[in-house]
Structure 1
């Protein structure tokens, strides 16, 4: 939640006029009632525009039989989107003062992601990443400016951390410029090098003094973005089913895909939010693994929607790929989502081997569903829904046994 205005001494109790500029100082990690701000929600929605563009281009690549190339381009573009979003999210958790300058710089970052989104089709079709690079640089330079502003108000180790962030981000942009000027043949390997360097900037900066990010706020921000990405998958699949039905009139063949997709996305939501995660975000080591690991969660969640579109296009004869390939476009990202959620936090709340095996087993069964032909997506959705039911039953049984052991009274 944004800082509340200071009450006026006037007897009316009206709040004092909001100051357009305030010092950018660290907020408390134990601050009460901290929630996402309207600006952060707007920021997320603008970023989902880029996610939708990346998913749309992935659909075209897979449907045209260029899955390998499409997945590589998707992974590269999605990293740029996710990394800029993640850096802003953690910075805002520690330093958001919601003044006019902070809002203006955030607007620059939003403009950057929209530039990036506009360049995604050219990146996929012509391997022209110039507009993607420009949008990324705009976002990252704006982020560096925020860190410099934080450094101006900080002292000692906190100032060192802010300056390390600002310098590291700017140096990385020089590296990206060099990469943009090189021939495309060098792109995949050098891109991976630059990704590793980017990932190391927070690890280096936080060694001086960890930033005061808020566990509840971070958990909510990640959860909200997960919901938005899953919602984008539902929207993309719905449009695909409508378009396919209008153009082919084969609604009966599309309904199993639509039903299976809905079950998959709803199960993904349920599994992600089955237990609160903020309690695990108490140290930088845990937060880095959890935060970085969400690249796979976000990317796979968005890819589920792209896979559903591919399955629809294959069902109506617009995609010239096999039924197995179209089914795998749904089942593989679904399995990756399940495994990553289990590894990052669901697995830490499961008790006993039975509970621990639910999600890995579900992921394996979802992959096997790829071989069920036209019923693959529906079968995968049923498997995912059954995993939710089994998980709830096991959790209830475990709770009943714990209550019985504590009170000595047999469960009803």
Structure 2
């Protein structure tokens, strides 16, 4: 068996590999599935239930991606065995994606959990391989990961044994297991951190954010295309399409305004930043679903009000701005004026909810103004002292 040892945190030119990019692209299938189910739930007037289902299923998708990405940052050997095990994980992703509709619509998590089992067994084997090839504290960390992942996975399997009608109990168990999942890294690395690479991790999260924003554009484009073809409502849809593009373009600009790897110096910053991306990525994907809802409302296909359809876009857009600001943009701001630009823009986008048929376009203008303000403020000469 080839040796698997930790890579150096100071390794130069550490970049995402083609296998990692392939892994990310396969996750787009699952993200697209959960976005589609959210659209259906909201347009049918079941927004609260839809958001709850979306949050739960998106967590499963996001957490599977997180586990792979941080392990790969520390132990990617890119040898044949590592590649084969990663391809097994990708198979699990596709199984999970196939189970998204049933999990979302009827609370049947069987297929999702099966896909999760495939991914987690593969990941556990990677940690056991790392433990086999290392010694001392590093070996203990790898074994803790393997044991922790296995124990929580048994919990997910046990959740399937609950009666199908016990939705409240399932929801409570889901929350407990999700919290347990997020505790595994903290417990495993309590006395030694894995050798994740700051630049590599920053790039991995950035690339996944790009993929999610790309899926948002793709979903919105298809929605507009179908509405124009079926209803010939180009006039009603142009403000939504233009505003949606401005929001997504601004989201990309704001996220990549600062080089985050300079901030990721230790495990404390990394845990908060990495976990917080659940909100960043979840809201980014929800923007696309919201644009689809707004399109369907504009042509009379959605059973929701214009204000509710607008909120489907403005709420995730505002959440995206606030979480990006809170997680890393604020660490690079020089004064109060720069600090307030994104929170104020988020509040203004929420206010756009009540702008009627022009709500999405108005939100897009606000997002664009936030980008412009950020660029102009950053170019001011630094104040001495």
Structure 1 counterpart of 2:103: 123
- The equivalent of 2:60 in structure 1 is 80
- Determine the structure 2 residue equivalent to 1:349: 332
Q: Is the 8 A contact 1:94 1:213 kept in 2?
A: yes
Counterpart residue number, 1:91: 71
Cα distance in 2 between the residues matched to 1:375 and 1:181: 48
* 1:72 shift after superposition: 0.7
Q: How many residues align?
A: 382
**Are 1:309 and 2:292 counterparts?**
yes
Match of 1:373 in 2: 356
Q: Give TM-score scaled by structure 1 length.
A: 0.91
- Preserved contact between residue 57 and residue 104 of structure 2 (Cα < 8 Å): no
Question: 2 CA distance for matches of 1:33 and 1:243?
Answer: 44
The CA distance in 2 between the partners of 1:387 and 1:263, in whole Å, is 11
Q: What SS does structure 2 have at the residue aligned with 1:282?
A: coil
Matches of 2:89 and 2:357, distance apart in 1: 43
Where in structure 2 are the equivalents of 1:135-154 lying within 5 Å?
135-154=115-134
Contact 1:65 1:320 in 2 (8 A): yes
Q: Deviation at 1:320?
A: 1.0
**Cα distance in 1 for residues equivalent to 2:320 and 2:203:** 19
| Alignment partners' CA distance in 2, 1:108 and 1:77 | 21
Q: After TM superposition, give the deviation of residue 22 of structure 1 in Å.
A: 2.1
Tell me by how many angstroms 1:291 deviates. 0.3
Aligned to 2:114: 134
SS at match of 2:160: helix
1:55 to 2:38 alignment: no
Q: Report runs of 4+ in structure 1 exceeding 6 Å deviation.
A: none
**Superposed displacement of residue 122, structure 1:** 1.0
Which region of structure 1 is more displaced relative to structure 2, 138-147 or 378-387? 138-147
Tell me if 1:226 matches 2:209. yes
Tell me, yes or no, if the aligned pair for 1:311 and 1:326 is still in contact at 8 Å: yes
* Pairing 1:29–2:12 present: no
What does the per-residue CA deviation read over 1:239-274, in whole Å, with 9 as the maximum and x for residues that have no partner?
A: 000000000000111010000000000000000000
Tell me which of 170, 175, 179 is aligned to 2:159: 179
Provide Cα deviations, 1:15-40, integer angstroms capped at 9, x if missing partner.
xxxxxx52111000000100000000
1:103 is paired with a residue whose SS is helix
The residue number in structure 2 matching 1:66 is 46
2:243 pairs, out of 235, 260, 266, with 260
Aligned to 1:336: 319
1:167-193: per-residue Cα shift (whole Å, max 9, x none)?
000000111111111133211111111
3-state DSSP of counterpart to 1:42: helix
Whole-angstrom CA distance in 2 between matches of 1:125 and 1:175: 22
CA distance in 2, matches of 1:126, 1:188: 13
Confirm whether residue 209 of structure 1 aligns to residue 192 of structure 2. yes
Please tell me the root mean square deviation across aligned C-alpha atoms, in Å.
1.0
2 CA distance for matches of 1:385 and 1:68? Answer: 29
Structure 1 residue 124 displacement after superposition: 1.9
The DSSP-based 3-state class of the residue aligned with 1:181 is coil
Q: 1:39 is matched with which residue?
A: 19
Gaps of 5+ in 2: none
CA offsets 1:319-367 (integer angstroms, 9 cap, x no match): 1110011000000000110000000000111111100000100000000
Q: Residue 207 of structure 1: CA displacement?
A: 1.3
Cα deviation for residue 48 of structure 1 reads 1.2
Deviations 1:111-143 (A, max 9, x none): 111111111111122221111111111111111
Query: What 5-or-longer segments of structure 1 have no aligned partner?
Result: 1-20, 407-412
CA contact (8 A) 1:137 1:173 kept: yes
Distance 1:97 1:333 in 2: 38
Provide the residue aligned with 1:193 in structure 2.
Answer: 176
Is 1:281 the counterpart of 2:261? The answer is no
Higher relative contact order (CA 8 A, sep 6+): 2
For the 8 Å contact 1:158–1:208, the answer to whether it is kept is no
**Given that residues 160 and 208 in structure 1 are in contact (C-alpha distance below 8 angstroms), is that contact kept between their aligned partners in structure 2?**
no
In structure 2, distance between residues paired with 1:140 and 1:227: 25
Aligned to 1:13: none
